[in-house]
Structure 1
Amino acid sequence: MKVLEEGKNKRKSRLKKIIVVAIIMLLIGTVCQSIMVEKEMKILLPKGEIFNINNHNMYINSIGSGRNTVVFVAGSGTPSSFTDFYRMQMELKPYAETVSFDNAGFGLSEKTDLPRTINVLTEELHELLKKSGQPSPYILVGHSLASLEVIHFAQKYPNEVKGIVLLDGGSPEFYANDSEVKSYILNRISAGLRITGIARALGSLDIKLPLLGENLRYNGLPEDIKKVDLAMYYRYLGNPMNLEYIKNINENATEVMKNGHLNNVPLVIISSDSGEDWEKSQKELLHWSNRSSQETLPNSSHYIHWTNNDYVVEKIKSLIFLTSNIEDN
């Protein structure tokens, strides 16, 4: 009995030591994460401009030239529009003026206390495009949850939109009934990995997490842009500001549904092969315009503009040429 008791005490002692070491490591990781974030944001600044919109500063990046303006709208939680759309903007710059921007609380855009309702989001984008001198009508390219923003923008400003491309975006019907809880939980788990420095430690071992498509995005960027991308990722993974967007998903989708059909706006839907429920959502999107098309790409991921970049770029180019020809005729 005495031997058994001694064995139990040793196991308890080892467990306590492991717990203490783990706590110390997490504390060290938390301090290092805080120090590195501040250091990185002072030296790694992407090119672009800042405009005061709705009493907070918003970042916008414009590349290229031409008769057409292509506006990229990032999906929920994406740390930086600059790095997420960098490759596509560079490849499309001979064909059009391309624009990416950060919603409030992401990238180089300031936080705001204004509610993240769909009307506020579209009005802020509209004002940002006007203040930065981007000529309309626009081709809007929205990834993921940004499908709601680009559809609603076309509803509010129909004369300023001549085409829409959705990059694995859900239908308003899907988002109206989707559980906001799972997005909240993923955000909080991601925040834990960021705050404790675990995500950064894994990154130093060349392990890029699939969260927010970082494992795909990082590998597809040139070396100098990779530095900006990692800085943004380590700063905004599990961004608490994103909770303000998440809690309005259902309400925003319902508002979009109330505003109705897009009529003859060309709508190009590019979808990942993510199961039956998602496939249903993609088919629902077909009914939002009289001029819609949809294709599901095999071996694709939710960040479809990284797994299938060449295809996406060609689709956007096709829409640029199509709308230009219609205007000429």
Structure 2
Amino acid sequence: MTKTIHPGKMVTVNQHQMHIFTAGDGDKTFVFMAGSGTAAPTIDFKPLWQILAKKYRIVVIEKAGYGWSEATTVSRDLATMLEESREALHLANIQAPFILVPHSMSGLEALYWGQKYPTEVQAIIGLDPAVPAAYEKLKIPSKTNLKISKTLINLGVHRPFMKLVAKNVWKKRGTSLSSEDFQRYVDCYKESLFSSDVINEVLTVRENVAICQKGEVPKDIPVYYFISDGKEIGLKEDWRPTLIAYLAQFETSKYLLLDCGHYVHGERPEEIAEEIESFITEIS
């Protein structure tokens, strides 16, 4: 393992270590949940959490195989991932209720959390989050293609180019980092790209969609979705209508359409933070 020293706390869950990062203080706890394949969630979310941490307590959960958390071969079904997240928070002495802040595929886990443990979820702040209906049109990489990518990663073919790739990825998200943050990001990118858990989560997504669809929409939980233009997801025409239609099922819901890429928290952190603060004030 060549990653730099983790900035948060390591806890042992399900026989593997998970990294939990915390910052700030306040009477509201925001729990950030990374989208599929996000190499360094703690760094990736920083443009937004560093603003919110001035007033609230923020937490970043790094799932198995993400960031500084260990890779495993444990199932990536929703039930397993949710219980690992809850146990990690418990071991880190972080108590419910939470305001969940999922990005992309973690939108499913946040909805499932609301279904299973509604008293633990004060609100859901979706950062271009996935909803079950989106996967009716989203293309999922085949197992063969993922295995080929994993093999190339294991051979280290990617390593000479990682710094350049990571730099371009971050630049595309519209975010500047400190030199220390950038080095941490690159190191995690080298280790976490196509981890076994990232691959298995993608391969399990159809099953997870079905699990989420079996439960009722947690309509009593206030929800605010920040929605991109859909281009990076490959659903330019369908992405926004799909998320807006899903939101219509909630008692209290808002959305903001942003003309930016999928990593909305990197491109529009100030605007999103301001909207979040207003929304939390409204629902409180």
**Shorter-chain TM-score above 0.5:** yes
Shift of 1:207: 5.6
Shift of 1:50: 1.0
**Residue of structure 1 aligned with 2:76, choices 96, 99, 116:** 116
Q: 2:96 & 2:211 partners in 1: Cα distance?
A: 24
Q: 2:147 & 2:266 partners in 1: Cα distance?
A: 22
Is the aligned partner of 1:241 residue 2:197?
yes
1:16 aligned partner: none
2:114 aligned partner: 154
Other structure's SS at 2:238 match: helix
Shift of 1:193: 6.8
Aligned length in residues: 279
Q: 2:196 & 2:75 partners in 1: Cα distance?
A: 14
Q: Deviations over 1:204-253 (max 9, x none)?
A: xx56476xx43345852112111101111122223333111011111101
1:224 aligned partner: 180
Other structure's SS at 2:226 match: strand
Structure 1 gap ranges (5+): 1-37
- My pick for the range that moved more, 278-287 or 146-155, is 278-287
| Root mean square deviation of aligned Cα | 2.4
Q: Deviations over 1:286-322 (max 9, x none)?
A: 1342111222212x00111111121222222223323
Q: 1:167 & 1:264 partners in 2: Cα distance?
A: 19
Q: 2:102 & 2:249 partners in 1: Cα distance?
A: 15
Q: Deviations over 1:57-78 (max 9, x none)?
A: 1110010000000000000011
Contact residue 173 and residue 267 of structure 2 kept, 8 A: no
**Residue of structure 1 aligned with 2:258, choices 297, 308, 327:** 297
Is the aligned partner of 1:313 residue 2:273?
yes
Shift of 1:282: 1.4
**1:1-329, aligned counterparts within 5 Å?**
38=1, 40-41=2-3, 44-175=4-135, 178-181=138-141, 185=145, 188-189=148-149, 192=152, 195-198=155-158, 200-201=160-161, 203=163, 206=164, 208=166, 213-216=169-172, 219-274=175-230, 275-298=236-259, 300-323=260-283, 326=284
Q: 1:285 & 1:122 partners in 2: Cα distance?
A: 21
Structure 2 gap ranges (5+): 231-235
Structure 1 length-normalised TM: 0.77
Q: 1:79 to 1:208 in 2, by over 3 A?
A: closer
Of all paired residues, the percent bearing the same amino acid is 26
